Structure 1
Amino acid sequence: MNREELTGNWNQLSGKIKQKWGKLTDDDLKVAQGNHQELVGKIQERYGIAKEEAEREVDMFLTRH
């Protein structure tokens, strides 16, 4: 799955995203709503990691799903 497909499959993926990144709240997921950069930003904020690391983690997640 690529970044564009994230938006189209958001409803199916949001549960898996919440399992992987348990610190994300429902509000975080509502804000992201399939937007790759918003999701990366929320993960970066909640986990205190660099943007590049958050992007890498999200991209790896998307290639597996």
Structure 2
Amino acid sequence: MNNDIIVGNWKQVSGTFKASWGKLTENDLQEINGNLEKFQGKMQEKYGMTKDEAKQEFEKLYY
């Protein structure tokens, strides 16, 4: 799925991300705004995940 579609749907799916990953704040979700690299960085920071682990979680919840 291309990034423009993810960004366009981000408001709809960000609630799912927040419910699944409670350490992500509203500010974090606004900053991420559907960007996989930013999501990976936040997940590394908040949960100690690797980039690959974060990518897998992103894809599990989004796709």
Bin the TM-score by the shorter chain. Answer: 0.7 to 0.9
Stretches of 4+ aligned residues off by more than 4 angstroms: none
TM-aligned CA distance change 1:34 to 1:17, over 3 Å: same
Question: How far apart, CA to CA, are the structure 1 residues paired with 2:2 and 2:22?
Answer: 21
Task: Report the counterpart of residue 53 of structure 1 in structure 2.
Answer: 53
TM-aligned CA distance change 1:30 to 1:53, over 3 Å: same
Question: In terms of mean alpha carbon deviation, does 18-27 or 32-41 score higher?
Answer: 32-41
In the TM superposition, 1:1-65 aligns within 5 A as 2-4=1-3, 5-63=5-63
Q: How many residues align?
A: 62
Structure 1 segments unaligned to the other structure (5+ residues): none
Identical counterparts, % of pairs = 42
Q: Which has the higher contact order (CA 8 A, sep 6+)?
A: 1
Report the RMSD for the aligned CA atoms in angstroms: 1.3
AA in 1 matched with 2:48: G
What per-residue deviation string (whole Å, max 9, x for no partner) do you get for residues 28-64 of structure 1?
111111212111211121101111111111112122x
Q: TM-score, normalised by structure 2?
A: 0.83
